[in-house]
Structure 1
Amino acid sequence: MAVRDAASLLVGLLVLFHTWGAAWAVVEVNMEDRVEVFRGDTVQITCMFTSADGSGGLMIQWLYMTQLGVRQRIYYQDATTNIVDRGTPFTDRIKVIGSVAKGELVLIITDVQLEDELDFICQINGVTAGNGEGRTQLRVFERPELPSIEQVHTGISVSNENPSKIGSCEAKNGFPRPNITWYRDNMPMQNVPGEVTVLYQVTRESSGLFSVKSELSMKVMKEDKDALFYCEVTYFVPGGVRMTESNRINITVHYPSTAISMWVESPKGEIKEGDTVEIQCRGNGNPQPPFTFKHEEKEITPDTNVLVLENVTRLNSGLYHCVTLDLDTYEELMGNTSVFVNYLDAAVVMPGDTSVLSQGDGLNATCNALSSLSTHTAWFKNGAEVSKGHTLTLKDAAFDTAGTYVCVVTVPEIEGMETSGVLRVLVLGPPEISEPVNTAIEENVESTVNLSCHARGFPPPSITWTSSDGQVLKTVSHKETEDGVHSVVSVKVMSDINAFCNASNDYGTDTVAFSIKAITLTTTTTTTTTTTTTSPTVKAATAIPPKKIKKEGSGVVVAVIIICILLLAILGSVLYFLYKKGKICGRSGKQDLTKEKSNKDNIVVEMKSDNTEEAVLLGVNGDKKPPSDQ
């Protein structure tokens, strides 16, 4: 009995010692439960461990769990070597860093793919301390593409009994699978039997990524015509959840009209005769029903829901209706608007279009135009305003009173609304020729000059042109003006001539004369003198423009100087002849100047032009002789 107890005690001690040894020899491994990474990035999985064995007594292995639940080693390390296992999906993409002595190793995986979403195991084996391992789950993520939304482009009727498709939304190539939520005006939409239906379709792409497509259907109401629909896509990323939204879409809702509006679209404001009027009609439903237009019970059927009236008159005024039929209730809907076309009749001038006055008479003329609005009247002559108001008063008529008066009647409220009338005033009286600017003309021989003559008077004067030699000159232009006649004649200058403009009517005559001086320039050269002659000067008048007259002024001066010199030379010769004959200065005809030494060729005659016109004979040597010696 004592021996049995001793044996039991020994066995207990051995068990106790073994238990204590196992407790001291255990290996502890710590790893994160999960590590997350985007596809294509690099990930680090850390393994931290403690062991009673030294670093030289440890054997380290990295493994992963296959989809079939089988452990597959990818890395081995001990005190003398480290090896990356060949033939695994990670052979070329992993490395291990860290310190065994510090109990920290890091597995680095580059270019992480979806297939790498596995459990990775860090296994530590001790020589005496036993074994330990840790495990980390690798999660891989991929952002989906931006969501695309497509709306239904056809109209959706509120009368549809079943939910109608609103649109579809798709999020492509995400991992893990993205989620789609529909919104109407920022309010999420859920399945409601008979009202709202949301369908989902998930596709696993060949790349392993997920694409999700959702379709929204609902029963629409009139209020949905202004609603905005969109979808929200939520997806997972390392460390959290992200969200993105699609574009907003609006649907076309068809609903019946319950009221009709009708209005004049153009022109804005007052309408006048001649305008183009556009009348529109619109119901409060969608789409617009066909309309029939009526004017004073007369039916009008345009091609569209717009009624266009071109070149309107006052007859287009009145009440207009547009009528349509509600196809659901078969009730007639009607809208109306009133149109008023303003008018301005043609101006009426009294008395008549033409008034004939005697000189000194007066006239009161009126101008009126019937209009739907107040008017303003003004009178104009030659573009200048001469009177305001409907009445034009003319006093003490003269030729200046004659002419065309235009009365212009306008409607200040409407731009461009105006009319006008014309009154022609004629004043009886004898012709009155307007004095030409120039009646004296100097022209070169063989040149042509135009003479113009304007004669006022009524009846319109008859104008004839005559010359000083009795010829009738042919006119080149003859036209009536508002207050008389304007005539032009062309004269070819051959010699000095006078031309006469003769105006006459039943009340008298009037004449104006034009004097034309012909200028001839000739030059004669001799051994002793140079003489320039002109025809005798005749007083003349011209209608030549001032520039032309100015151009010939220097020639006239030169001609006058030459004539004076010639006259002085002639006078000197005459005096000398008389002296030789003894006819002057008390000398007889027999007296001879040869008593003095003289030379006929050396005699010089000098004329002094002064108040006494004294003539002095000079000697051979140019000495002046006193009068007693002559």
Structure 2
Amino acid sequence: MALRMNASMFVGLFLLSLAWKAAWAKVKVNMEDRVEVFLGDTAQITCMFTVSDSPDDVIIQWYMITKTNVRLRIYYGDSTMQVVDQGGQFTDKISVNGNGKSSEVVLTIRDVTLEDELEFICQVNGLSAGNEEGHTMLKVFESPAHPIIEGVHSGISVSNKNPSKIGSCEAKNGYPRPNITWYRNQSPLQNTPGKVSVVTLVTKESSGLYTVQSDLHLNVVKEDKDSLFYCEVSYLVPGGTKMTETNKINITVHYPTTSLDVWVESPKGRVKEGDTVEVHCRADGNPQPPFTFMHNMEEMKSELNVLVLKDVTRLSNGNITCTALDLDTYEETQGNTELFVDYLDLAILIPKDTHVMAQGEELMATCNALSSLPTHTEWFKKGEKVAEGHTLILKDAVFDMMGTYVCVVKVPSLEGLETSGSLHVLVQGPPEIKESADTVLEESTEKSLNLSCHARGYPTPVITWSSSDESQILKEVSHRQTEDGVLSVVRVKVTSDITAYCNASNDHGTDSISFSIKAKGSGVIIAVIIICILLLAILGSVMYFLYKKGKIPCGRSGKQDLTKPNKDSIVVEMKNDNTEEAVLLGVNGDKKSPSDQGDKYMDVQK
């Protein structure tokens, strides 16, 4: 009996021990709630677990929850085998790293698609320790393309009662769906009844990606003409949120005109007679309304907002009015400006034109011009300034004062406004011939030269020419008036020494000047004479040499006296192109006529 009781107690204790072990043997699984990955990348889902008893006898199974909420196994593995379930969505694109012998198993999903965004379950079976599973949600992301904004091209009127479309903003191919927010000058715009309306259209493409289009409608005000509108697109990415802004756009706002600005655009500054004036008119409304211009109560033709007045005069002074008509309300708005044209009248000279004064007299001339601005006067003679101010004074008149004096009147403060006049001054008196630099001249015979004679005086002197060669008439080749007299030029042919006379006369007296011309011989004739003398010298030397050598007999003894003429003497014929008679020179230098010598020119006796 005692033995049976001991045996029962042993069995009871054994069963109690097994029950105690079963109560304390457990499996624990730890997984992330979600794993995030970009579309097309590789996802890794980690399953970490612990088994308190027999960790080598663990079975790992992976499951997915389909879109229709069906649980399907995609993987089985234990210490002896690992199997990917065939015929499923992940058959060819998953792998598992680790098995039941380790405490961590990683499910790898390659080339993730949007269809892979599912819930995945890792189940760990510890046999006697029981089983447990963990859940992870795989999230897939795709960043949208850079957003595009486009504003309306037509103008938007502030008078529109309902909000008008401002523009559209589009973000293409994002996942999950992107969000679009509109901004005006960095301030976000929210739907406000009667003022702001944002209409959003979401399109799911065949790829599963989302395209979002947002239209902004707004009740615009005048200040919106300077406003900048843009969109901000926000979208999810693994680990956070990103935002992208569009470029900024400006819209055209139409608003009524309340005032006009009228001004002279050209010329800049003061206006003078003869200018072309441009008057511009601008309204503070948009668009610019049609304009009408009035000049001194007379309607003027204009183009758009510009009035052009050509060749203005002082009569153009007055009021210019610009009137704008609002085509919506038919209300008129006016603006105006005053036009003043500066002027400078023609110069008035006293005396004017030509003034004759006697030698020694004094002249006081004045030059003035009426102007709207202060003037300044200068006097010029032959381009050189001779006086300054409205008055020109000439004292003790002499011929040097004769000529044209030009007075120039300018307005210093306005360039281009000037006038001028001229006064021709004549001084009465007997002629005065200006001395020539060369009154004694030399020239080769048969050449011609010009002689100039300038006589001053008033009345204008009369010039006559004469010469010491009565056979030659001096021909005048030039005759012109100068501002103080007359200038005459004659041509003289030089045949011999000659003196030419210039005579000037008027009602008050006479004056004269002479030109002495020496004739120079021809250079060719001088050269021929020199050559002949040289030849004679050479010939004399030869004859003397022959005489000394006894080659030339003289007298009865066979030698000839070189000092006496002989019919066989050596002679040289000298001819001059200017004479018809030939002169023969004997060795002794005597002249012999051709009749005395016959036809012999040179004969040397041995």
Q: Same fold (TM over 0.5)?
A: yes
Partner of 1:378: 378
Deviations 1:514-556 (A, max 9, x none): 3253342132378994399xxxxxxxxxxxxxxxxxxxxxxxx
- Report the AA paired with residue 202 of structure 1: V
1:321 is matched with 321
State the partner residue of 2:534: 530
Give deviations 1:330-367, integer Å, cap 9, x for gaps.
55432221111111001011111111122211111110
SS in structure 1 of the partner of residue 171 of structure 2: strand
The answer to whether the 8 A contact 2:22-2:128 is kept is no
Cα separation, 1, equivalents of 2:86 and 2:489: 123
Q: CA deviation at 1:445?
A: 4.6
Identity %: 61
1:518 to 520, 524, 544: 520
- Separation in 2 of the partners of 1:26 and 1:242? 44
2: CA distance between counterparts of 1:221 and 1:139?
Answer: 45
After superposition, give the CA deviation of every residue in 1:443-476 in whole Å (9 maximum; x if it has no partner): 4455553433333222333344444313333333
AA in 2 matched with 1:388: E
Offset at residue 497 of structure 1 (A): 3.8
Residue 586 of structure 1 corresponds to which residue in structure 2?
A: none
Q: For 1:86 and 1:531, how far apart are their aligned partners in 2?
A: 144
1:375–1:412 Cα contact (<8 Å) kept: yes
2 CA distance for matches of 1:20 and 1:490? 159
Ranges in structure 2 where 5+ consecutive residues have no aligned partner: 1-8, 538-560, 565-606
Secondary structure of the equivalent of 1:122?
strand
1:27 CA drift (Å) = 2.5
Normalising by structure 2, report the TM-score. 0.79
Counterparts of 1:146-545 in structure 2, within 5 Å, are 146-326=146-326, 330-445=330-445, 447-470=447-470, 471-514=472-515, 515-522=517-524, 523-524=527-528, 529-530=533-534
Q: How does 1:130-149 map to 2 (within 5 A)?
A: 130-149=130-149
Query: 1:461, 1:503 within 8 Å by CA — same for their partners in 2?
Result: yes
Question: In structure 1, what is the Cα distance between the partners aligned to 2:487 and 2:12?
Answer: 159
Q: CA deviation at 1:89?
A: 4.9
Matched, 1:60 2:60: yes
Residues 15/417 of structure 1: CA separation in 2 closer, same or farther (3 Å cut): farther
Give the drift of 1:247. 2.0
- Displacement after TM superposition at 1:16 (Å): 6.5
How far is the alpha carbon of 1:306 from its aligned partner? Answer: 1.6
Q: What letter corresponds to residue 530 of structure 1 in structure 2?
A: L
Do 1:524 and 1:531's aligned partners in 2 also have CA atoms closer than 8 Å?
A: no
Identify the residue that residue 109 of structure 2 maps to in structure 1: 109
Q: Residues 526 and 54 (structure 1 numbering): CA distance in 2 closer, same or farther, change over 3 Å?
A: same
Deviation at 1:273, TM superposition (A): 0.7
3-state SS in 1 of match to 2:523: coil
The range that moved more, 174-183 or 155-164, is 155-164
The 1:43/1:461 distance shift into structure 2, 3 A limit, reads farther
Shift of 1:106: 2.6
One-letter amino acid of the counterpart of residue 512, structure 1: I
Please tell me the root mean square deviation across aligned C-alpha atoms, in Å.
3.3
Q: Secondary structure at the match of 1:312?
A: coil
Listed as ranges, the gaps of 5+ residues in structure 1 are 1-8, 533-565, 567-597, 602-630
Q: Deviations over 1:35-63 (max 9, x none)?
A: 11222333332221112466653333444
Q: Confirm or deny: 8 A CA contact 1:443 1:519 kept in the other structure.
A: no
The alignment's TM-score, normalised by the length of structure 1, stands at: 0.76
C-alpha separation in 2, matches of 1:110 and 1:478 = 116
Q: 2:79·2:99 contact (CA, 8 Å) conserved in 1?
A: no
Deviates more, 1:184-193 or 1:100-109: 100-109
When residues 125 and 450 of structure 1 are mapped into structure 2, their CA distance, relative to the original with a 3 A threshold, is: farther
Moved more, 334-343 or 494-503: 494-503
Kindly indicate whether the alpha-carbon contact (under 8 Å) linking 1:320 and 1:336 is maintained by their aligned counterparts in 2. yes
Superposed CA offset, 1:201-245 (max 9, x none): 111122222111111112222232222222221111112122222
Q: Secondary structure at the match of 1:207?
A: coil
Q: In 2 relative to 1, CA 509–44 (structure 1 residues): closer, same or farther, beyond 3 Å?
A: farther
Equivalent residues of 1:277, 1:309 under 8 A apart: yes
- CA pair 485-52 structure 1, distance change in 2 beyond 3 A: same
User: Equivalents in 2 of 1:91, 1:525: separation in Å?
Assistant: 138
SS in 2 for 1:530: helix
Deviation string, structure 1 residues 39-96 (Cα, Å, up to 9, x no partner)? 2333332221112466653333444333233445554443344455565554554444
SS at 1:115's partner residue?
Answer: helix
Task: Provide the aligned length of Structure 1 versus Structure 2.
Answer: 531
Aligned partners of 1:54 and 1:101 also within 8 Å: no
Taking the aligned partners of 2:166 and 2:128, their CA distance within structure 1 comes to 71
